[in-house]
Structure 1
Amino acid sequence: MLLAARSRSNARIAVEAGVHVNTVHTWRGRFADLGLRGLLDRQRTGRPPVFTPLQAAQVKALACQLPAETGAPLSRWSCPELAREAMSRGMVSAFTVRRWLDQDAIKRWQHRSWVFITDPDFRPKAARVLDLYARSWDSEPLDADEYVISADEKTSIQARCRCHPTLAPGQARAMRVNHTYGRGGALAYLAAYDVHRAKVSGRTEPRPGINPFMNLVAQVMAQEPYASAKRVFWIVDNGSSHRGQKAAARLSAAYPNAVMVHTPVHASWLNQVEIYFSVVQRKVVSPNDFSDLAQVGDRLRAFGDRYNATAQPFQWRFTTSDLDGLLARLDRHTADHQEESSTARTA
């Protein structure tokens, strides 16, 4: 109406206001007939709202609380439990609760675990690993005859012999795996993944340990191009078989061109071999139907050969800049948490 008062045409008002020209015509006609009263919404048909926006906000706020904070003996909220708690406060039904939570995508059934950074040298240790992924060491680019190996163990892979045969999938039917099984023992799968060549060397051992890990190292370092390489960097986590300076000294004593690089404590996610292990879990181990440990070992070795035939390097995008941003966010989160804790203690 303000634009119409400035002698704008309906078409121009529609463009400037971002509405259809018929809408402009309708409101101008109502204003001409009824004046300011014509600009009010007309009485609508249908049942009026039962709940107020404040009630919806209160239920959403309740869903964003831990149940223990309200005294409920629950680990997480379900819609019926939320509705029961809301009804005890004079609120709503489970259907309404579910509809409101869906509007804001509040997924109260999900949870994610995380851990505080406890390693005082987290940043420099993580930066060294990320620099190696970017083919640099001590701010110098790696030479063509220098390689980066990511290594670890996948422990306790069981041989579960199902008591009834696994049924292949069919039309509109998933693979069927019998629930009951006999235990055929367990083994450890050790793997060394060449980060830039996407080649994996693996072996199975009865259990993990220092000697099994050194057996993996010997298997890799006896091969070319690693045997004659200028340097081979071994990225490992802080597992007991390769922890600390003793492990680094043991490696360099056995192979002078090998350099052990540890990820920070509680930061195995920086080790690219864990991505390979996740592929193994999905494609080889699950749903775990093996007659014995020999079949497990044969399957793992065969998969390693199959993987090497077609694999491409992982597209690792987490850089030192991303690391600095992550640490800054964690610092802010820690400061906020400490402030909230201090306020709670004072109250």
Structure 2
Amino acid sequence: MAYGHKTQYQARPRATVVLLAARGRGNARIAAETRLHVDTVRTWRGRFADGGLPALADRKRSGRPARFTPVQIAEAKALACQLPVETGVPLSHWSCPELAAELTARGVTDSISASTVRRWLRQDAIKPWQYRSWVFIRDPDFRAKAQRVLDLYARTYEAEPLGADEYVFSSDEKTSIQARCRCHPTLVGGGDTRNSRHFTAERDAQIR
């Protein structure tokens, strides 16, 4: 353990203390050679004398006491499995910050972070923000408005079928590229190199 290449860093000086003690060195000399405090040397010698090599490992620590009870965690997961509209919250779906705020408002927890809620939901693979729902149309004229679009999909316009030379185009505007007129006219090839570079830079800027 003292010289092994696979020995953990914290175990190496502890094994070195035991090895030097087995060679008859005192605590003060061992502390000077290992650059440890004499109390640390005395501690590891005593633990090795009581439990052998296994005693040189770290003892199990209790850690920080749990802040939230299992009941609070279960209530948070149960709330995430409900639709916000069923609880009176004006949201389409839950997010971790909204769940944390709602748990605090209901008095389930005094205060809780969104990251804690996200960790709880990850344990059971609960993702309420990916919930999908249907939007029910309430427009009384929806049938008439949608009929024109659906007829075009069926190649029909005003109850008459489209001819072989008639086409239907559907276009939409992308998020970062707008369908608008060019700001500058197209330059003729082989012209001024400086103007060509200027045109290329502006074209790239428009595309971005």
TM-score range, shorter chain: 0.3 to 0.5
- Which entry has the higher C-alpha Rg, 1 or 2? 2
State TM-score, norm by structure 1. 0.24
Structure richer in strand, relative to its length:
1
